[in-house]
A = this chain, B = another copy of it.
Amino acid sequence: MNLVAAPARLSTAEADFDQKFQQRLHWSAEQDAAIEERVAAILADVRARGDAAVLEYTARFDGVQAASMGALQLKADELAAAFDGLPAEQRQALQAAAGRIRRFHEWQKTQGGETAMYRDEDGTLLGQKVTPLDRVGIYVPGGKAAYPSSVLMNAIPAHVAGVREIIMVVPTPARRDGSSKDSKGDKNPLVLAAAHVAGVTRAFTVGGAQAVAALAYGTAAIPKVDKITGPGNAYVASAKKRVFGTVGIDMIAGPSEILVLADGSTPPDWVAMDLFSQAEHDELAQAILLCPDADYIEQVQAAMNRLLPTLARAPIIAASLAGRGALIHTRSMEEACTLANRIAPEHLEIASRTPQRWEPLLRHAGAIFLGAYTSESLGDYCAGPNHVLPTSGTARFSSPLSVYDFQKRSSLIEVSEAGAQQIGRIASVLAHGEGLQAHARAAELRLKP
């Protein structure tokens, strides 16, 4: 592996820029037909056989043998014990992060997340009643990408929304070399501790399509939930998409992305490290810099060359930059903003002395980080807003995970006798126009003779 930082070097002034730019951006969310088929079979099997099927798949895919689902359940005291067992520094960091995330989502709840109504001039009461979901399932990936911060970011909004039961599933695959400490596979104590801090009610050490199926349909041991959130591999994504409608789901996540819009005023080392911090997630992650200052781009490249060898995950970073990264020289900051909107990135840093100048030009992004001090990694852990964000251009039409994802609205309508006279006449005309006579008659019965 050649450990160099070799992102594509593009310029909007080149004739073939558009073609090269599209090639870099390309990422297909299309699903593999073979995976789809296997997932459909797993879902049907868990639906039919319940816990027995979940236990079999857990043995087969995770190498974890358990006689009953009880052995795969983590109760509240086990989560609390994991928290108590952490070093003080980690305990404090988890609690401080949870506190900040909770405060942001509590504020968010005041922005449309509460029941509200008004009365019309004709006495009609109209409004929306906001209710938390009864029970949700949170999928937490196991293995190499087991992130306690994801537990906080999924469970805290649910807790703030008022969800009574938060069920976490997290696979604990046994190591293939047999070195796992116990027969249940390796548990990540930070993940368990985060679940404790975030208000998770119960947890099961199961994963994959079988865990999604158990949450969607319910088994004897795992209760049926109303919605499933959280990231996972291709099997989990396919399973979530397939149970959508039976339960609610959040977005299907693609590889992580960062776009840095730089005017040249931020230390190049900072920008280089911010690009790395996204590239280190996995080889398919995407890190892009847009900047109108050619000299500054060279400084960032030099900083990358210097810093890359100092990082433990340098091989992943190098692969990500070579395959999907780009440093793009633009004609102006305005042009950079236009390109940013075409990308609709998950994370968008405005590394500028005047971020407020550019923010209004940016229409599509999961989260916008303003100014040199706002590194994306602060948002990933503890600034407060959610780190579960739309990827692969879906910020064009979707939003960060939020307290709203764990609530639903019911419309409220109360028409007075006087109101029914006015509104009923309109409804009657339109219902007859649609050929729905009973609709019309229901309105007409309320009219005074």
Residues of B near A108 (CB, < 8 A) are: 128
Digit string of A364-402 for contact with B (CB within 8 Å is 1, else 0)? 111111111111111111111110011000111111101
Whole-angstrom distance between the Cβ of A348 and the nearest chain B Cβ: 8
20 example contacts (A-B, Cβ-Cβ < 8 A) are as follows: A107-B126, A125-B370, A133-B397, A148-B430, A148-B433, A227-B397, A245-B251, A247-B397, A248-B397, A277-B438, A279-B438, A280-B438, A312-B435, A313-B436, A368-B413, A371-B414, A372-B446, A373-B417, A374-B415, A375-B420
How many copies the complex holds: the figure is 2
Top 6 nearest A-B pairs (CB, nearest first) are A112-B112, A248-B397, A93-B429, A385-B411, A370-B414, A367-B411
Give the distance to chain B from A91, nearest Cβ to Cβ, in Å.
10
A93 to B440, CA, bound (A): 13
Q: A395-B408, A408-B399, A438-B277 are in contact. Are A129 and B430 (CB under 8 A)?
A: no
Is A331 in the interface zone, CB < 8 Å from B? no
Q: Per-residue CB proximity of A265-280 to B under 8 Å, as 1/0?
A: 0010110011011011
Q: Are A379 and B411 closer than 8 Å at their CB atoms?
A: yes
How long is the Cα–Cα vector from A226 to B427 in the complex, in angstroms?
32
CB of A396, distance to nearest CB on chain B (Å): 5
Chain B residues with CB under 8 Å of A251's CB are: 245
Q: How far is the CA of A104 from the CA of B445 in the complex (A)?
A: 25
A412 within 8 A of B: yes
Interface check A424, CB cutoff 8 A: yes
Pairwise interchain contact B442-A274, C-beta atoms closer than 8 A = yes
Q: Which residues of B contact A441 (CB under 8 A)?
A: 273, 276-277, 311
Q: Are B424 and A378 in contact (CB under 8 A)?
A: yes
Q: Are A149 and B434 in contact, CB atoms less than 8 angstroms apart?
A: yes
Measured in the bound complex, the distance between the Cα atoms of B158 and A371 in whole Å is: 33
- CB pair B100–A375 under 8 Å, yes or no, is no
A365 to B425, CA, bound (A): 26
Q: Does A179 contact B (CB under 8 A)?
A: no
**Chain A: how many interface residues by the 8 Å CB criterion?**
126
Q: Is the CB of B312 within 8 A of A437?
A: yes
Q: A96-B426, A245-B394 are in contact. Are A367 and B410 (CB under 8 A)?
A: yes
Interface of A (DSSP majority class):
mixed
Residues of chain B contacted by A29 (CB below 8 angstroms): 245-246
Q: Indicate whether A416 reaches chain B with its CB closer than 8 angstroms.
A: yes
- A116 sits at the interface (CB 8 A): yes
Q: Which of B128, B274, B280, B414 is close to A111, meaning CB atoms less than 8 Å apart?
A: B128
A287-328 at interface with B (beta carbon < 8 Å): 311-313, 317
A356–B365 Cα distance when bound, in Å, is: 42
| Closest chain B residue, CB of each to CB of A409 | B399
Shortest C-beta distance, A261 to chain B (Å), equals 14
Decide yes or no: A374 and B414 within 8 Å by CB, A93-B426, A395-B408 being known contacts: yes
Are A413 and B147 in contact, CB atoms less than 8 angstroms apart? Answer: no
Question: Could you tell me if B399 and A437 are in contact, using CB atoms closer than 8 angstroms?
Answer: no
Pairwise interchain contact A410-B365, C-beta atoms closer than 8 A: yes
A124 to B373, CA, bound (A): 10
Expressed in whole angstroms, the Cα–Cα distance for A380 and B400 within the complex equals 31
User: Bound state CA distance, A102 and B414, in angstroms?
Assistant: 18
A411 to B403, CA, bound (A): 13
Within 8 A of B (CB), among A77-135: 89-90, 92-94, 96-97, 100, 104, 107-108, 111-113, 116, 118, 120, 124-126, 128-129, 131, 133-134
